[in-house]
Structure formats: C-alpha cells, structure tokens
Amino acid sequence: MRGGAGLSVSNPLTESTAHELVEKFRSGAATPSAATRAYLDRITALDPTVRAYITVTRERALAAASAADERWRTGRPKGPIDGVPTAVKDVLCTKGVRTTCGSKILERFVPPYDATVIERLEAAGAVILGKTNMDEFAMGSSTEHSAFFATRNPWDLSRVPGGSSGGSAAAVGADLAAAAIGSDTGGSIRQPGAFTGTVGLKPTYGRVSRYGLVAFASSLDQVGPLTKDVADAALVLRVIAGHDPLDSTSADVPVPDYAAELSRPIAGLRIGVPKEYFVEGMDPEVERAVREAIEVLQRLGATAEPLSLPTTDFALAAYYLIAPAEASSNLARYDGVKYGSRVASAKDLIDMYSKTRAQGFGAEVKRRIMLGTYALSAGYHEAYYAKAQKVRTLVRRDFEAAFSRVDVIVAPTTPNVPFKLGEKEDPLAMYLNDIFTIPVNLAGLPGLSVRCGFSLASLPIGLQFIGRPFDEATLLRAASAYEQATPWRDRRPSLG
C-alpha cells in the first residue's frame, strides 16, 4: 500500500521547515498556535496509518503554543525554535508524561523529572507534540520491535521507517512534526533518517547530555535531531548541545553557532571515500546515488580521495558484544521492585523477578540481554568482551589516521533502501543493516545522514557524512552545500 490516498490534510504550515515556520512567526504570517493545531489535525488524520506516536500531548502542546504566541506578539521570542512543533522519542524522560521506551515493562511509567534535552527544548520555546514510537529500549533497526505496534514508512506504508528512532523519523518525514529528537546507539538516528528521507544527526559522544535518556548502552548512546533539512538540524543541535553537570560523560567544550557555519563554501574541503563502505551485496541503486553525490561535492569544489578503514569488517561483531553487555547491566534495574510493571502472581522474590522480566521484555531485548550476560560471564569476559573493546580501539585509530588526511568522510548511510515490514525476521539480517553506521558510535564520532536520491521505487537513499570529534559544524556545512545543490529535498511522500 502506498501513500494515504483519499486523506487530504495538506497545509502550508505542516509542509514548512522549522526555520520557515519561525520566519512566519516573526513576520506575523502565522502563529505557533496555528502551526500546532495544523500538526495536531494532521496527526489525528494520518497517524492511525503511520503510527509514529505512542503518546500525543495535545493540551500541553496547545498551552505551550499559546505562550509562544504571546512571546512572538510582544517581540520577545526565546530563541530560534520558539513555537516550533517538535516530537520526542519515547526514550527521554518527560515529567508528568509517560515514558515507555516502547516496552510493556514501562508501559505505565511516568517520570518525576525531565531529561536535560527536554528542559533545553522547552527553555527554547519548542512545542512538544508527544512521544514517538521506537524499537523496545532502542534495540532494533525497523521499529518493528516496539511492544505496542510497528511504525510505517511514509514513502511506502508497506515498508519500515528504520529504527530504533523510527517513530521520530516517520513523524518528520510524514509532516507530523516540524522536527524531532531521537537517540543513536549504533545508527538509530542516521539509519531511519536515510529510510524516511529526513536529516538525521548523531552528535559526538558527550556533545549532548544523556541525563534523563533511558540507557541502552551507556558508552554508545547519544541524543540528536531528525529534521526536514540541514538548516533545521543546525538550529536544534545548538539548542540541545552543551555541557551538563548532571551527566558525567558530558563534554565541557564550546558549542558553535552551527547555523552561521552553513553559508561557508566547501571549496577545498578534503573528502575521504572508504572502500570498505562499498561492499559486495549492497543495493546498486544506493551505490550509484552515493557515488553521484560525491561527484556533486567535487563540482562544488571539494576534493575526494579513496581511503581505507581496515577494521570496519570487525566493527559489527565488536558492537554486538559491547552493546548487549552494557544493556545486560543497564536493564538489570527492571525487576518489578522500584518502578515499572510487576507480576502479581509470584510465589517469592526470585519468581517475581523472573516472571516480571519474562513478561515485560520482548524477544529482541531478551536476546540481547542473554548475549550480553554471556559475554560478561566468568570464563568468557576476556575472550569476548575484552577483545571487543580492543577492536573498538582499533576502529577509533582507523578514523584518527583517516582524519589526518581528510576533513570529512562520505559514505552510504545504509547498504539498502527501506525493506518491507516483516522482511528481516532473521536477527543477523537485521543487524547487518547497521554495518555502515556502527563504526561511528564505537569511535564516538559525529555522523549525519541527508537524502541523496531515490530508488526506482521512489524510496529515499541516505548519504552519510562522518567527522572529527566535536566538528559537527563541518558535517552540517558540507551536507547543507550538497542539499542546496540538489533537488532531492523538494520531494515529499504522497500521504495527503
């Protein structure tokens, strides 16, 4: 099934980017309340089909929009995204609004505090429309592993939007939010960004606070934006980035004015093209689009050179030891004692632990907990987990060597276009979908996906930019130059 034939809720406000909305607020051509109502109407009409949201916070959004109306009316906006309707992945704690992580074990959990990213969004005046669907505890690449329902790709409703931030990506791709927040542990912002034709930015590890982000793998998780264009990604990142004393892994480094960097030309920029990211078996349409994108960047004045990242082939295996090991530790807290679901029929404490976790966690989460627990167990720790950490060091050194020669690395975001719902039932086939995104997380680097074309079936294709630590500005500048020079951003799915 393609599109949303018969549903007509098209509105110039919901088709606008975040920065275009702000210009309308500034000129008086529109108000945050009008934009918010337009988005809520579109959610009501189309989200029963797309299934991007777990929770819609209608009254809270309208109240925030009304407050933003007054600020714009009196010429005192809070910042560059004041009044912008925004969606948030349901892995970030929101005070008074349930945070499920796409899991039955947290189905009724209502946090008593806001994540730092939520505080910063609201301090900047963003209007939060609701919480978006996700693979359970961010473990998945298709949003089919949500405990509640699968989200659909707005470009083809029979296909997945990617994951685990598939709800956030689908919300932006379907014009059900002007911008959204996701999290990326092994590609969970960039891969759904590629699959939905949105801009997905995974910042450097430590650039954005993880306080209030429900942990999957603490040394890999990072929060970032999904947006309609690169300029919006620059605006949202500026709002959410920066040191946070509540997060011990937060980096105390300056946050540039990313939007101001976008207009700088890319002439002379050195681009590296890793041979390991063009592998046998990848979709030829993806390879063609990415190689054509590199030619566009060269016409804009950048220079391109081949390079090698030899440990790429080992990154996937290392990740699926490190991430499950950290998940095994982080998810041990969900035992039915302090918060979350608890079975009522247990005969003793151990029985309660066992039944609560058996009923509360889905199959993919259980699979990764068992894999991680095994990798950390006595007798296997050195053989598996410790060796994976050594490979991680080698991956990081590969990137360090590459960045001594180039300014940015360009590669496919994914080896294939969006696949059909239910197509990848084999876990290994699903894991292989992240082969080009995982190395970036292991090395803690920033990565960005922007659309670089479409397949013959009109499915979006993603181009990935990878940068030096804390050099998101260069990624955004290069991606913006490419975006401005190509027609791809003007296409939109036919949902109505």
- Spatial separation of the C-alpha atoms in residues 441 and 219, rounded to whole Å: 9
How many CB atoms are closer than 10 A to CB 281?
A: 7
**Residue 372: closest CA among 320, 324, 330, 317:** 324
CA distance 420 to 153: 9
Contact 460, 155 (CB under 8 A): yes
Residue whose pair of structure tokens reads 């009522």 in the numeric block:
344
Pull the structure tokens for residue 63.
């109240």
Instruction: Specify whether 188 is catalytic.
Output: yes
Q: Report the C-alpha gap between 207 and 231 in whole angstroms.
A: 18
| CA quadruple 162, 332, 334, 349: dihedral, nearest 10 | 150
- Of 16, 164, 168, 449, which is the active-site residue? 164
The secondary structure of residue 137, as a DSSP letter, is: G
Which residues are CB-contacts of 106 (< 8 A; sequence separation ≥ 6)? 99, 100, 214, 334, 339, 340, 341
Cα(115)–Cα(94) distance, rounded to whole angstroms?
Answer: 6
Which residues are within 8 A (CB) of 349 and not within 5 positions of it... i.e. 6 or more apart?
A: none
Q: 449 - beta bridge partners?
A: 200, 464
Active-site option among 16, 24, 33, 89 = 89
| 226 torsion bin: left (phi>0), alpha (psi -120 to 50), beta (else) | beta
| Residue 375 Ramachandran class (φ > 0 left, ψ -120 to 50 alpha, else beta) | alpha
CA 84 to chain centre: 18
Given a contact cutoff of 8 angstroms between Cβ atoms, the answer to whether 232 and 217 are in contact is no
Catalytic residue from among 142, 188, 328, 480: 188
Residue 376's alpha-carbon distances to 82, 219, 382, in angstroms, are 46, 16, 8
Catalytic residues: 89, 164, 188
